[in-house]
Amino acid sequence: MTAPNDPKRWADYGGALRAILDEYARAIRDYEQVLRALPAERYDARTTLSDEEFATVRDILKHTIGAAHNYVNYLADALDGTDRGYQKREFPQANASEAIPSLWEAFGRMVDVLERIKDWTDEKQEQVKFVTRWKQTYDIEQMLEHAIVHILRHRRQLERWRDAPLAP
């Protein structure tokens, strides 16, 4: 079986989908690189950047991985005409090596969902609309772009976390 992050999995997808998946995979690879470079003592440590939602690197990971899986659910539901609602799951995250496969799993699920529409025109894709739990209306491409930027934002957060002083 081909790995979730192997570009051969989406090599025959249409131009825009292929480009977006290339960039999504790049964003995850960059996120993974930053996460793996974080010193182990930073994983559960509070820094001066800690707040209620993101107190530790582990909290950032839980959020990032959970969101990636929920973005897939949004697209699958929109294509199926269903609504499974928000699903909170726990993912392995004792360390970076354990956590990263869950993020790649979400990406692989996204590739699988998008396989169903890989030959659709841009116009047909734009007709699929759905409302998120934060009350924003998205189409397929907008959700994919949101998923990419979400990874980028939290990669930046991890970079800042790495250099922040530990909380007293």
133 part of a folded domain? yes
The least confident of 20-29, 87-96, 152-161 is: 87-96
CB atoms within 10 A of CB 105: 16
Q: What is the pLDDT of residues 101-150, one digit of tens each?
A: 999 999 999 999 999 999 999 999 999 999 999 999 999 999 999 999 99
The least confident of 5-14, 50-59, 88-97, 113-122 is: 88-97
User: By residue range, what is the domain housing residue 117?
Assistant: 12-39+53-162
167 part of a folded domain? no
Q: Residue 41 has what pLDDT?
A: 86
3 part of a folded domain? no
Alpha carbon distance 12, 129 (integer Å): 24
Q: What is the reported pTM?
A: 0.93
Alpha carbon distance 84, 62 (integer Å): 20
65 closest CA partner among 49, 95, 89: 89
80 part of a folded domain? yes
- Output the domain CATH number for residue 31: 1.20.120.450
Q: Is the pLDDT of residue 1 over 70?
A: no
Q: What values do phi and psi take at 47, rounded to 5?
A: -115, 180
The domain tally of the chain equals 1
128 part of a folded domain? yes
142 part of a folded domain? yes
7 part of a folded domain? no
Mean predicted confidence (pLDDT) in 151-167: 95
113 part of a folded domain? yes
CA dihedral 53, 59, 62, 65 (to 10 degrees): 90
Q: What is the pLDDT of residues 63-98, one digit of tens each?
A: 999 999 999 999 999 999 988 777 777 777 767 888
Sign of CA dihedral 141, 118, 122, 21: positive
